[in-house]
Amino acid sequence: PSLLPPDHGAAVVLTIDRGLQTIAEEVANTGRERYEAERAQVIIMDPNTGALLALAVSPTFDPNDPSAIRDVEVFKNPVVSDLFEPGSVLKPLIMAAALDADLVEPDATMTDRGPVNIGPYTINTYDGKHHGTVTMTEILEHSNNVGMVWVAQKVGAERLYQFLRRLGIGDRTGVPLEGEAAASLPLPETWGETRLATIGFGQGIVATPLQALTASAALVNGGRLLQPHLIRE
């Protein structure tokens, strides 16, 4: 019998930064314990390139000892496989839609007189506080749900839908990780006044954590929607 020498494959260099990854893992663990959460994730991405610099999940498992895991859900990567309502993470994107359509300026104002009634629902601020006349900048500073409802109504369902689609909401990012989920963004004609209002503060639609991060990165890189990636070379 003859011995055939192996063909060596290519070396792969990841974009992950070891120092940032260590810190991200510590933050994820600490945050999950502090808030008694089922799961925590931390993602760090270069918004100018889409390079993923850290991607941490808590709880996780030791890949050298997978048999120690009793809950198979831990094997999933929630950064790409779990869908959630972004909540306040989405507010800057909604405000960006209004700015992009020239409907508001950062110093434009609206008056927050208290909770607003949308159909059978009453929408309030997260802390129950109201600040009267506020600028668009102050709405974001206070994470003001009432102000964001006003902004979403000003933009309207069709324009808001098109803007969020351009930011990749409702689509997979294409990151080379197994099990990436995506839920289609509901068509604007199905929204109604309630969904339009709740989307203003990030509820009523879902995305993965990585989709929300990728969309947010476009706000700081000049409006470019990048594909996140893990392979440097």
Residues with catalytic roles: 88
What's the residue count for the chain? 233
Distances (CA, A) of 188 to 61, 154, 194: 41, 14, 12
Report the C-alpha gap between 213 and 48 in whole angstroms: 13
Report the C-alpha gap between 67 and 80 in whole angstroms: 23
Residue 14 has what DSSP assignment? B
Report the C-alpha gap between 216 and 214 in whole angstroms: 5
**196 and 157 Cβ atoms separated by less than 8 Å:** yes
Could you give the 3-state DSSP secondary structure of residue 54?
strand
Which residue has tokens 């007189």? 113
Could you give the 3-state DSSP secondary structure of residue 45?
strand
Q: Which helix (H) or strand (E) holds 26?
A: helix 18-34
Residue type for position 3: L
Distance of CA 67 to the CA centre of its chain: 32
Report the C-alpha gap between 109 and 140 in whole angstroms: 12
Report the C-alpha gap between 180 and 18 in whole angstroms: 24
